Amino acid sequence: MGFERYNFYREVHKGIRALVGSLVEQAGRTDFQDGGEVANLRRATAETFEILEEHARHEARFVAPLIRAHAREVGRVIDGDHEDQARVMAGLVAGLEAVDATDPSAAAKGHAFVVALSRLAGELLVHMADEEERALPALWAGVDDACLQRTHQELLASLAPDEMARSLGWMLPAMNASERLAMVTRVRGTAPPEAFRSLMGLARRVLPPAAWEGLERQLAAA
């Protein structure tokens, strides 16, 4: 059995897939002739896109230089993807702002937004797969896990507490039980007690009851 190398994309990508999928589902359920529902979708879109933009900025600062050093062409493609995504998100926000629930064209404009958002979601899925299937193997070939861990820790240390909590709010439910236990156990063993308590409080709020109860049992047995 091969040794599993360090993957700093795994959990955050699971969270982003869940986050973007949730927005696509909300958009599909939205009645664009209902002003309240449109306003809710605008808020959710702004929050989601802010998270995606923050994620791209952190990757550009900490991860992209490493990728360019070991896989220049892959790095060029990934950098270009981030630029394209920023442009598409700006256009989507503008398109959604143009939807007037009282206008007869609201339903048609709203559906156009749903379709365009779905295309962005699909492109994001391909982009994240490229990072894990192309960029990460190049990094594994070029640097050791200690380097990858340092890069990841530097990125995490740069996050403001509210940004970290917002990211974990999507990541924790998207992980499997083993990954969730590993993260919580790591925090319990290395972080101040208040950080562990904060993480557990967040987990209790965002996890389904069965997942939360399972996590409690696993921690008690660990």
pLDDT, one tens digit per residue, over 85-113 is: 999 999 999 999 999 999 999 999 999 99
Task: Count other Cβ atoms within 10 Å, centred on residue 16.
Answer: 23
Q: What one-character DSSP code corresponds to residue 6? A: P
CA distance 214 to 217: 5
Q: How far is CA 60 from CA 7, 16, 65, 167, in A?
A: 17, 17, 7, 17
Residue 51 clears pLDDT 50, i.e. is over it: yes
Instruction: Assign 173 a pLDDT band (cuts: 50, 70, 90).
Output: very high
CA distance 27 to 93: 13
Residue 2 clears pLDDT 80, i.e. is over it: no
pLDDT of residue 1: 43
Q: Taking residues 80-84, what's their average pLDDT?
A: 96
Q: Taking residues 53-80, what's their average pLDDT?
A: 95
Element (H, E) at 35: helix 35-58
Please tell me the least confidently modeled range out of 28-32, 46-50, 137-141, 158-162. 158-162
- Overall pTM > 0.85: yes
* 2 vs 32, more confident: 32
**What's the topology of domain 10-143?**
Four Helix Bundle (Hemerythrin (Met), subunit A) (1.20.120)
